[in-house]
Amino acid sequence: MRIPPSLFPVPLLLAACSALAAPAAGEPPATAALRLATYNTSLYAETAGGLVRELEGDSSHARKIAAVLQRVRPDLVLLNEFDFDPDHRAADLFQHRYLERPQAGGGDALRYPYRYLAPVNTGVPSGLDLDNNGTVGGEGRERGNDAWGYGLHPGQYGMLVLSRYPIDEAAVRSFQLLKWSTLPGALRPLDPETGTPFWSDAVWSQLRLSSKSHWDVPVQTPLGTVHVLASHPTPPVFDGAEKRNAARNHDELRLWKDYLDGGDKPWLCDDQGRCGGLPADARFVIVGDLNNDPIDGDGRHDAILELLEHPRVLRYPTPGSAGGEQTSLAYAGKGIARRGAPQHATGDFGPKSGTLRLDYVLPSAGFRHLGSGVFWPADNSPEAAIADGSDHHLVWVDVH
């Protein structure tokens, strides 16, 4: 998984009438502030119902994830790679048996009165030969490759939004079913040897863009309605020379750019039949494991850079950690160097990839930044004992 390391950066002083320090990692933000977070929890199983069975027992994995959340105590958090089940049993178990019980290395019990979860494309059979191997479905990875989004069972690698504040469920927008081909300028993968499309027109016209789903979840906070824009684009790897996953990752990120851009978008219709992007005056936060580092690793970096530099996205110092820096520098000593700042990494992906910045919390420009960080304690820190529940680390941002 990963080598942990040290906590949060030195609090940042804001240029204002008075200097405000970022709250410590274990402290919730001040009353008039929001702590926003994303965390790829790796709480998934290879078989349907596997996560429920794990959580019904005594999961050391889930206890570590809960302990991190208890330490950081975000007001709004997206959990990626949390398996979806139709009865919401896994979400119930995680809330009541783990978050609401103090965990070793964590903090006080943590309760989220509101949550949002819904079906995702991972593991849902498409009935199509999406990997072009001549068969539909099959076993193991072959079955996963022919699902709408890679997964071994429906709901694997799902998403869960937890909130201290009410969610306007009637206004939630999901884009699980949006067709990839409807995106203007969609990157249709080509066979590099022949220059012809990797998928036939009949298949291409049916493909869904989102590998899991894209959600707009309006939350009624003390600072007004905040639209939580949640997603988990496919990794830009595990494909072939046609780079179909790299193209999909790029366009999954581009969907958020187009959603923010404004203007008439009759093609941008959600699963509820409502069309168009996010209103120009709406506050939002983009959260998720976006599977794209701005500088390092695989993938087309222009897509994540367009999001980071979008005029509607707040410019603020990149979250970092002593642990990310420590682990990145250790890899550099073994010949795997980051071109990006080592402290900005959000996960450790082993000796082939090293550390990467894949997890993002991007508030809208209407907010004022108070502080941010990555929960990645140094390996000689007591907090390191709870930080290895996932190969990703929680990223948080405080805003007002």
Q: What is the mean pLDDT of each run of 10 residues along the chain (400 residues)?
A: 33 28 46 91 97 98 98 98 98 98 96 98 97 91 95 98 98 98 98 96 98 98 97 96 97 98 94 96 98 96 97 98 97 93 97 96 97 97 95 98
Residue 75 placed within a domain? no
Q: Which domain holds residue 278?
A: 168-399
Please name every residue paired with 218 in a beta bridge, in sequence order, or none if there are none.
227
Distance between CA 54 and CA 51 in Å, rounded?
Answer: 5
Distance CA 142, CA 258 (A): 32
Q: Which two tokens stand for residue 217?
A: 């979840």
Does residue 351 form part of some domain?
yes
Placement of tokens 């820096």 in the chain? 325
Rounded-to-integer distance, Cα 359 and Cα 397, Å: 12
Q: What are phi and psi of 364, to 5 degrees?
A: -80, 160
Give domain status of residue 113, yes or no. Answer: no
What phi-psi label fits residue 275: left (phi over 0), alpha (psi between -120 and 50 degrees) or beta? Answer: beta
Structure tokens at 255: 């969907």
Task: Say which residue the tokens 């009949």 belong to.
Answer: 202
Burial of 190 (0-12, 13-18, 19+ CB in 10 A): middle
Order of strands, sheet of 369-374, starting from the edge strand that comes earlier in the sequence: 114-116, 159-163, 76-82, 34-43, 395-399, 369-374
4-8-11 Cα angle (round to 5)? 170
- Judge whether 31 lies within some domain: no
R_g of the chain computed on alpha carbons: 20
**CA pair distance 349, 144, nearest whole angstrom:** 21
Is residue 38 in some structural domain?
A: no
Q: Is residue 310 part of a domain?
A: yes
DSSP reduced 3-state for 398: strand
Contact 123, 144 (CB under 8 A): yes
* 92, part of any domain: no
Closest CA to 299 of 252, 365, 343, 333: 252
The CATH number that applies at residue 211 is 3.60.10
Distance CA 189, CA 26 (A): 45
Q: How many residues does the chain have?
A: 400
Question: How far apart, in Å, are the Cα atoms of 91 and each of 87, 112, 117, 302, 361?
Answer: 9, 11, 9, 35, 22
| Single pTM value for the model | 0.92
**SS3 state of residue 253:** helix
What is the model's pLDDT at position 262? 86
pLDDT score for 53: 98
Strands 283-289 and 224-231: parallel
Residue 143 belongs to some domain of the structure:
no
**Can you give the pLDDT at residue 15?**
27
Q: Which helix (H) or strand (E) holds 324?
A: helix 322-332
Query: Residue 31's pLDDT is what?
Result: 55
How far apart (Å, rounded) are the C-alpha atoms in residues 200 and 207?
A: 11
Q: How many domains does the chain have?
A: 1
